[in-house]
Homo-oligomer: A and B are copies of this chain.
């Protein structure tokens, strides 16, 4: 009993594959991206990809999870600053941080979620989590800046957070629709 790729190395390969997949998905969509495309984009081979992901669905799932997690991370960063921004400012910051490629991937993920239970669970879970973070942020603003009572602030924050979330998602959609995917090299 001896050799196996170190876990760090293994994770690196997974990331390499996932990143290539993100580029392909952003360019051609989840379903129109073939394994061959990902092979070309990553510079790896079929065997290698299947050694790291059980199948394409597994890869798509990992990519979707990663994308949403990153978006949540960015949101967390902008939301939990010392001086809580007002809701308009919060929304403006979130919108400013939107990346077109990720926006396309996100919207594709929504489409996939409508018929794919695994993806649906990921999207719903992440959306709920992000909304909760927004609510925290708005609550902090209500308490610190608007001098609300903490008890009641949390309640009033909920519908505001809901709206910020909705407006952010709509903006994600518009960004996705406005940006054209870059062509693949000839």
Contact = CB atoms under 8 A, between A and B. Distances in A.
A120 interface: yes
A176 B145 CA distance: 36
A54 interface: no
Interface residues of A, number: 34
Contact of A29 (B115, B170, B177): B115
A111 B123 CA distance: 14
A16 interface: no
A71 interface: no
A138 interface: no
Contacts of A144: none
B115 A181 contact: yes
Interface of A: 27-32, 104, 107-117, 120, 123-124, 127, 163, 165-167, 169-171, 173, 176-177, 180-181
